[in-house]
Amino acid sequence: MTSRPILRFAPSPNGYLHLGHAYSALFTWRAAAQCGGVALLRIEDIDTGRCKPEFVAAIFADLAWLGLSWPEPVWRQSLRFPVYAAAAEQLRAQGLLYPCFCTRTEIAAKAEGPDPDGAPYYPGTCRHIPPAIAAARLAAGEPAQWRLDMDAALARIGERLGFPAPEGWEPVFPELWGDVVIVRKDTPTSYHLSVVVDDAAQGVTLVTRGTDLLAATAVHVVLQRLLDLDTPVYWHHELVLDEGEQKLAKSRDSQSLKSLREAGWSPQDVRSRLGFD
């Protein structure tokens, strides 16, 4: 007997959901129905400073309003920090993580270009700090984030990487990211680490998410190989754009589902607007 495909929708409760989130959720639940699978809801709240209980409640309300349901319990990443710390320790034990003491300003000043997300590409400054000096700085309480030595990681893996997609095998190019942050200064994980660990722990076999996260899949495939985790199928869907042809975003105050509901929109209005008639 084959197990049911497992998908997930994993929003961050740092603001209200908008039409872009609705598209991703509806896409995920439709894909689950088409393949006879189940869609999980996961709350990705590792940013404890920006994530708020009212936004978590709004996520539940918005998705229920759209007619979506999910199995319980709903995982919350803020309750799983020890699990992510243990995964980071596995990487550290392989000699693949190093502490980085640089500030954003210092990185921007030395960067020669952007990474795939548009942020300044980290030049590897702290990779060259002698271990004894780095240990002394850590012991003195100097804040540090932990980065993956990408060159060393790829050398350990020793082969060209990719991931399975609906249209076939897709190659990835993790070297474009350089030494990504795996453990942040303010929390014992990062998006890259926590999402990989949780997808594996929940048995996710099909990841549906926007094309804006396509480049990040390269980092996730690397971490999956280093942590000996299965790589799911990735299906990257189109984005919902505003009138200026920019993707909807909380940071740009894109109109929320909550405000649309209060303005009289129905769930069918949202489905029709997004092409889910």
pLDDT digits (tens, 9 = 90+) for 196-209: 999 999 999 999 99
What is the C-alpha separation between 20 and 255, in angstroms, rounded?
A: 10
pLDDT of 258 reads: 95
pLDDT (average), residues 233-239: 97
Report how far apart, in Å, the C-alpha atoms of 142 and of each of 7, 88, 96, 201 are: 40, 19, 20, 33
Q: Give the pLDDT band (50/70/90) at residue 183.
A: very high
Which of 74-83, 233-242, 252-261 has the least mean pLDDT?
A: 252-261
* pLDDT, position 2: 56
Over 80: is that where the pLDDT of 251 sits?
A: no
217 in Cβ contact with 149 (< 8 Å): no
Cross-strand pairs, 145: 100
DSSP annotation of 13: S
Furthest-apart CA atoms within the chain: distance in Å: 63
CA dist 239 and 241 (Å) reads 6
Rg (CA), the chain: 20
Mean pLDDT of 135-162: 98
1 confidence band (pLDDT: 50, 70, 90): very low
pLDDT at 187 over 80: yes
Confidence of residue 245 (pLDDT cuts 50, 70, 90): confident
Mean pLDDT of 248-274: 90
Q: What is the pLDDT of residue 14?
A: 96
Percentage of the chain beyond pLDDT 70 is 99
pLDDT value of residue 222: 98
H-assigned helices in 94-184? 104-110, 131-139, 150-157
Query: Is the model's pLDDT at 275 over the cut of 80?
Result: yes
Segment 69-78 mean pLDDT: 98
- pLDDT of 184 above 50: yes
47-to-158, 180, 193 alpha-carbon distances in Å? 34, 17, 13
Mean pLDDT of 106-128: 95
Cβ–Cβ < 8 Å for 210, 24: yes
Least confident window among 21-25, 247-251, 265-269: 247-251
- Give 198's contacts (C-beta < 8 A, 6+ positions apart): 10, 42, 75, 77, 80, 204
Q: Tell me whether the omega of the peptide bond preceding residue 73 falls within 30 degrees of 0, making it cis.
A: yes
Higher pLDDT, 245 or 225: 225
Give pTM, 2 decimals: 0.95
Q: What number is the average pLDDT over the span 83-102? A: 98
Terminal Cα distance for the chain, rounded: 33
